[in-house]
Structure 1
């Protein structure tokens, strides 16, 4: 198992724990943070149209891939990452070599921690409020029926704003292993009803068989990432992982949760 992690005291900005913090991983769904921030900045404080809210909310809360693909294409794909690198000032993040594969964006634990610090400290108030409101109500089940309660949601007493990511475990859980506690199926229904989604459902999310990767990041080993804040957003935890090939979801989730619990406990 390969890990990269960062723990930050959000109030002071001080990093309290770190290891392999600049190692690059494929982002999987963690890149949805950038997709959402980039979109919100284009509004320049204007109200979010209802049809766009129906994409953004399930993308952030339940990691809906169709919504992410629609917004990724609308934002120009690669330029989304380039704009966010310039805005937030990150060192290790790079667009995917195959720009249709948003899940193959290169990220590091240090850079993801900077995204949360940006949301908390530097984003426009309306961007901050929307991001934190939705990330705080992350659902147990993702829209693809994987259980996204591993890591921060299960490891800490008071999980805060959370965005998970995973790749390499298939497009959906095995039959009979689907997550059963869907918090708001109505959000998914709104996404699937979007004409924009219908036009972009062929955009892959990082589960394709072979493609080039940005910066030669590992595309073969299963990736499982847990990122977010603790309590009243006073601590930021970012844990990015790569598991041995063919590791079952349940084993990866237990390990990710155990490491997160250690990071939270040791960092105080």
Structure 2
């Protein structure tokens, strides 16, 4: 699938652009250029040096209510684990107990070893090719050819992530939807690599929520380790900088928060961010959490 050019718009213009037939079918109000009250009235203020892209979809109203840099590509970090899980589950009639445990720790605690196991079994980048084609993800692409084992270097956009959640909610088989979203509703405070994954949506918004977080470029050891019994050792290559070209935001740390939020999981939100070279974990987490809080306040 040939990706379309990224849209670097915000507010009502991008809400209308998202309605284009080449992207997705959305509500008539968005197609006409409309948006929900307040959708662009108080857009979050992005700090200098930080690059942010977000999309929010109101399931009750059936339309997009906020967007900025909706089709800008970011390296996925651990958000790609949702696509890995979809591909695995949809290609099997049953799940062995051992694999069920791997899915659980991969989705709830963002375990890297579990993701690598499924990545290698599924044909690495072919997982992304298959899921992008099936879900209609026009901004999603596998890692560069020179880095086939680096699943965290998959490219994706905020729009494609929201589209993925909507696929799970509206089109996926019950077993796929219930397995993946069931684990994301039980996201643990700590990743198995020791990083605290309560930034963004979990810290800024009240429950209920179902989330998948992503982080890359902050080193292999957290500044303050979570109180967690690690089920696997940190995988050093996941957080290393890419060597060569083809990886979005090469050399910059990225931090993503995505999921379903609000009563009855009304909103689908994806907030992707890239931070200045050398940015600390604590400062980046604060920026993302503030952006998530402001985004939700603007649409709810």
Q: TM-score, normalised by structure 2?
A: 0.79
Cross-structure match for 2:6:
none
Q: How far 1:169 sits from its partner (Å)?
A: 0.2
Determine helix, strand or coil for the equivalent of 1:140. Answer: coil
Determine which of 259, 268, 279 is the counterpart of 1:247: 279
Determine helix, strand or coil for the equivalent of 1:134. Answer: helix
Do 1:229 and 1:235's aligned partners in 2 also have CA atoms closer than 8 Å?
Answer: yes
Do 2:200 and 2:292's aligned partners in 1 also have CA atoms closer than 8 Å?
Answer: yes
Cross-structure match for 1:265:
297
Cross-structure match for 1:65:
112
Determine which of 245, 249, 260 is the counterpart of 1:229: 260
Q: How far 1:203 sits from its partner (Å)?
A: 9.0
Determine helix, strand or coil for the equivalent of 1:114. Answer: helix
Q: How far 1:160 sits from its partner (Å)?
A: 1.4
Determine helix, strand or coil for the equivalent of 1:43. Answer: coil
Distance 1:102 1:213 in 2: 15
Deviations for 1:82-138, whole angstroms, at most 9, x for unmatched residues?
000111001100000121111000010000000100011110011000011100000
Determine helix, strand or coil for the equivalent of 2:149. Answer: coil
Cross-structure match for 2:168:
119
Comparing both structures, which one devotes a greater share of its residues to helix?
1
Q: How does 1:130-209 map to 2 (within 5 A)?
A: 130-174=179-223, 177-180=224-227, 182=228, 185=229, 189=231, 204-205=237-238, 207-209=239-241
Determine helix, strand or coil for the equivalent of 1:86. Answer: helix
Do 1:100 and 1:204's aligned partners in 2 also have CA atoms closer than 8 Å?
Answer: no
Higher relative contact order (CA 8 A, sep 6+): 1
Do 1:102 and 1:204's aligned partners in 2 also have CA atoms closer than 8 Å?
Answer: no
Deviations for 1:217-246, whole angstroms, at most 9, x for unmatched residues?
112111000000113221111000011111
Give the structure with higher Rg (CA).
2
Do 1:152 and 1:159's aligned partners in 2 also have CA atoms closer than 8 Å?
Answer: no
Distance 2:250 2:89 in 1: 30
Do 1:145 and 1:178's aligned partners in 2 also have CA atoms closer than 8 Å?
Answer: yes
Determine helix, strand or coil for the equivalent of 1:261. Answer: helix
CA RMSD of aligned residues (A): 1.7
Aligned pair count reads: 248
Distance 1:245 1:16 in 2: 31
Distance 1:263 1:21 in 2: 14
Q: How does 1:2-151 map to 2 (within 5 A)?
A: 2-44=51-93, 46=94, 48-97=95-144, 98-151=147-200
Q: TM-score, normalised by structure 1?
A: 0.88
Q: Point out 4+ residue stretches in structure 1 off by more than 3 angstroms.
A: 201-204
Distance 1:159 1:29 in 2: 21
Do 1:90 and 1:111's aligned partners in 2 also have CA atoms closer than 8 Å?
Answer: yes
- Structure 1: stretches of 5+ with no match in the other structure: 193-200
Distance 1:133 1:253 in 2: 25
